[in-house]
Structure 1
Amino acid sequence: MVNGWGRVNAALPAAALVLVVLAEVVSGRGQVVLGLAVIAPLVAATSLSRQTTVAYSAAAFIVGTLLGLYEQQYTFETAVAQSVRLLALVLAGVLAVTSCELRLRRERQVTRLGAEAAATRAVVRTSESLQRALLGAAPQVPGLEVAARYLPGDQGAQVGGDWYDAFPLPDGRTMLVIGDVAGHDAPAAATMAQTRGMLRALAGSGHTSPAELLTALDCVLAGLSLDTLLTVTAVTVDVRGGAADVPLRWSNAGHPPPILVHADGGAELLERTPDRLLGAMSAGSPRTEHETVLRRGDLLMLYTDGLVERRGMTLDDGTAWLLRALSRIGGEQVDRVCDGLLGALGSRGDDDIALLAIRNPR
């Protein structure tokens, strides 16, 4: 069908010239229609190549000239009028070629933009798949409700340094981790993947308390000489024994503080004096550890700073907004809590966002 239309478009300018000649012959001398020959290059300009439009422009001028001879128009008395007619044919041909060039330029631009858009979509799909692979399967904690979300920032890159994780410890407890590597690009994602793997390896080798784990990680990062900063909150959840109250212990390396949403709806910021960022100072100095209890119906929300540090919003304002939002929707299912927070933002911010929510069922 497309080839058929292409052949029709290619034939239209030639048909226009033939019709002009026939009209001139049928109407007889004195019925000057030679100016209609300009239709051919104008039609060619709408769908054919520049070279073809030039050829039809030349053909229109030749046909017009020959029809003028047929009409015996080239006399002393009509010299000015015929010169104007022929000049009009030349100008019309130039106009047709110019219009054709502009059309072709627009078509090339549309094709280029389409190719770039397709390439961007492919990169986005690949980046999203890579980020999902780096984050791994959805976290699970036996006996607790768990939900996690990752939302890339609005920089175009679909990978970044924010991550969440949950994995079992040798003693039967579960370690929860939320972290943020400085940067929103592939190097940040690579550092994130390295750090995530090192945390699991260190925890599996016996560093099972949050403070010890982050201290050991700091030593490893110092040995690798990674030129980057990380914030991490590590939390142990002890569901052994099936007690109603679940003990929590956590250590915070410069990360936004966790939020505890009580079963009655109150939201408490677990704000303690945070330890230094990972990679910020000499490694090896002890880190502090804190503890609380996750009672029946309580929810613990871990998050990265992209959730509370947004354009036009101070950190204090963002934290206050998050506390209000969790007080309002914190009693819903953990999946709906996470989706509700991201939906309430309205749009992506400049930074990535990672969320990890756990609830002790009622």
Structure 2
Amino acid sequence: MLGVPVALVSFVTADEQVFPGALGLPEPWQGSRRTPLSHSFCQHVVRTRAPLVVTDARVDPLVWENLAIRDLGVIAYLGIPLVGAEGAVVGSLCAIDDRPRAWTGTEVAVLQDLADACSSELQLRTLRARATEAAVRAATAQAHAEVSLAERRTVAETLQQAMLTHLPEADDLEIRARYVPSHVGDQVGGDWYDAFRTADGATVLAIGDVTGHDMQAAATMGQLRTLLRAFAYDRGEEPSQTLGRLDRAMTGLDVAGLATIVLARIEQDAAGTRLLRWSNAGHPPPVLLHADGRTTLLDRRPDLLVGVDATRQRHDWAVELAPGDTVVLHTDGLIEHRDWGADIDRGTAELRRTLTGHHHLPLDRLLDTVVSRNGDGREDDIALLAVRCHPADPARPVEVGTRGLPALG
């Protein structure tokens, strides 16, 4: 496509570069598919996280002492970063000529498009391997849990608890969570929550529920949580775009199952204004508890569950958060009751009354109160995630405690 004698897909390690794809290298390099870093131009692409364009290596101060000029005949070099699943540059897609060459803007753009495709494939393979590992771990846990009903429940709960996260802490945001298993027979649900800071400084909140009450649901939950965390960490995109990416990955990776999810981002601009952006894939709506005890149900029109139709458009919603506001996300186990049937509106109203009546409590005590008052008569797991906004400048309230508290209640 570029008319070069040598093209490489190069991964750079601490002491060498390896070529999973190589065309046109002289021997013994073509056969061994690796060189020491003394022969690597690609290491500079990884170090700078930027394309490297070399017209004539023999007169370029960055590389003129590189042994690839003498041993591999590298004169002109064009390398584009390859990005792995965690957002790190792991190597380079490069084109090499054995004579000086002024690379055109069109040639750079063509190689950039190819590198983007290679990066996407690399990320997909990495995530597929992680999903497979999670499924193997879940299957292993299931195999060891066949001795008795009690042991099955213990292993399932251990698996589920292990996939719940410890929560980040910031001076202006207090995040707490609770997870309460149902204890109905040997069932285990696919409920989960997650919260983390992104590369651009936003705080991501997620809560979801995979359909089913078995080990497969727990395994699927683990795969979705891992995929969602990887997608949301460094892209800085709208929540609807991330959920769409998750939906497509479920299709491409053959992840079976359906799930409801609320994915949200809390962002803060230079003026200190906080904004909650969220997208809802068929999940119970979050509740916004204002500092004065009023509640607002964030019941915008939900989109389709993930795992149904990856082509369906998803939507984003936004609301401004004031100091003292608390956002409460939960799974349906909190608002369903065996005596109410499918009337989740009644459960939602009860939840809002509890929040209003106890809005003055510290966040930990508030969640404990919600679980004790609204969790009675439940037949499903409960996952509960809440974030309270404190002023950005003053110190955290005393009752909040120190950073890094465990997420589980």
Taking structure 2 as the reference length, the TM-score comes to 0.56
Write out aligned runs for 1:261-300 (5 A): 261-281=289-309, 283-300=310-327
Write out aligned runs for 1:140-155 (5 A): 140-141=169-170, 143-155=172-184
Q: Does the 8 Å contact 2:338/2:377 carry over to 1?
A: no
1:135 maps to a residue whose letter is: L
Write out aligned runs for 1:246-265 (5 A): 246-265=274-293
Q: Which runs of 4+ in 1 moved over 6 A?
A: none
**Of 328, 331, 342, which aligns to 1:301?**
328
TM-superposed CA distance for 1:226, in Å, is 3.4
Q: Does the 8 Å contact 2:262/2:281 carry over to 1?
A: yes
Which residue matches 1:333? 362
Q: What residue ranges of structure 1 are gaps of 5+ in the alignment?
A: 1-117
Structure 1 residues 240, 214: CA separation in 2 closer, same or farther (over 3 Å shift)?
Answer: same
Q: Does the 8 Å contact 1:211/1:288 carry over to 2?
A: yes
Which residue matches 2:208? 179
TM-superposed CA distance for 1:209, in Å, is 1.7
Which residue matches 2:52? none
Highest CA radius of gyration, 1 or 2? 1
1:17-55 per-position Cα deviation (integer Å, ceiling 9, x unaligned): xxxxxxxxxxxxxxxxxxxxxxxxxxxxxxxxxxxxxxx
Where 1:280 maps in the other structure, the secondary structure is coil
Structure 1 residues 217, 207: CA separation in 2 closer, same or farther (over 3 Å shift)?
Answer: farther
1:317-359 per-position Cα deviation (integer Å, ceiling 9, x unaligned): 1111111111111231111111111101363521111000110
**Of 178, 182, 190, which aligns to 2:219?**
190
Which residue matches 2:231? 202
In 2, the alpha carbon distance for the partners of 1:178 and 1:143 equals 21
TM-superposed CA distance for 1:132, in Å, is 1.8
In 1, the alpha carbon distance for the partners of 2:377 and 2:216 equals 21
Structure 1 residues 285, 350: CA separation in 2 closer, same or farther (over 3 Å shift)?
Answer: same
Which residue matches 2:371? 342
In 2, the alpha carbon distance for the partners of 1:272 and 1:312 equals 27
- Name whichever structure is richer in strand by fraction: 2
Q: Does the 8 Å contact 2:279/2:316 carry over to 1?
A: yes
Where 2:283 maps in the other structure, the secondary structure is coil
TM-superposed CA distance for 1:309, in Å, is 1.7
In 1, the alpha carbon distance for the partners of 2:187 and 2:159 equals 9
2:358 is aligned with 1:358 = no
In 2, the alpha carbon distance for the partners of 1:120 and 1:285 equals 41
Aligned length: 243
TM-superposed CA distance for 1:172, in Å, is 1.2
Structure 1 residues 346, 219: CA separation in 2 closer, same or farther (over 3 Å shift)?
Answer: closer
TM-superposed CA distance for 1:168, in Å, is 1.7
2:266 is aligned with 1:237 = yes
Q: What residue ranges of structure 2 are gaps of 5+ in the alignment?
A: 1-146, 392-409
Where 1:183 maps in the other structure, the secondary structure is coil
Structure 1 residues 274, 357: CA separation in 2 closer, same or farther (over 3 Å shift)?
Answer: same
Q: Does the 8 Å contact 2:159/2:218 carry over to 1?
A: no
1:252 maps to a residue whose letter is: N
TM-superposed CA distance for 1:255, in Å, is 0.6
**Of 242, 245, 251, which aligns to 1:222?**
251
Q: Does the 8 Å contact 1:128/1:158 carry over to 2?
A: no
- Name whichever structure is richer in helix by fraction: 1
Give the % identical residues: 44
Which residue matches 1:53? none
1:211 maps to a residue whose letter is: S
In 1, the alpha carbon distance for the partners of 2:170 and 2:193 equals 13
Structure 1 residues 217, 357: CA separation in 2 closer, same or farther (over 3 Å shift)?
Answer: same
